[in-house]
Amino acid sequence: MAILKTKVKLYLEANSKTWEAEKDNIRLQNNGSGDFIHTWSVSNLDKPTDSQLASYETAGNTEESNNNVRATRKAAYGNIGDQLDEIYKDIDAWKARIKKIKDDNPKG
């Protein structure tokens, strides 16, 4: 199940806004019964309804899964300086290693 922040982020993007630009205008909270939007003061955009947020469930699950894949790949790729050194020394070995990382961690 996608978390509320992911669904809100997708709702903002669908309405030409970004979480980064609006995060100070939104306060998410959990009262023990689940996450909810406590404060919404996004200019020119109404607070999403529960049904609007629910419509982002599938896309939210895909986004969260892809974020996990990206994090796994980033850790496996290693430091960019080491990668550049590897490319300089043997680009074919670097290509094979990166391909294996991508094959082992496909995006949804």
Q: Is residue 63 part of a domain?
A: yes
Segment holding 9, helix H or strand E: helix 4-14
| Mean of all residue pLDDT scores within the chain | 96
Q: Is residue 30 part of a domain?
A: yes
**How far apart are the C-alpha atoms of 56 and 7, rounded to whole Å?**
6
Q: Is residue 70 part of a domain?
A: yes
CATH of the domain at 23: 3.30.56
Q: Is residue 97 part of a domain?
A: no
Tell me how many domains the chain contains: 1
Q: Is residue 26 part of a domain?
A: yes
pTM, entire model: 0.79
Q: Are 77 and 94 in contact (CB under 8 A)?
A: no
pLDDT greater than 90 at residue 54: yes
The domain containing residue 30 runs over which residues?
A: 4-77
pLDDT digits (tens, 9 = 90+) for 60-79: 999 999 999 999 999 999 99
Q: Which long-range contacts (CB under 8 A, 24 or more apart) does 36-40 make?
A: 36/4, 37/4, 37/8
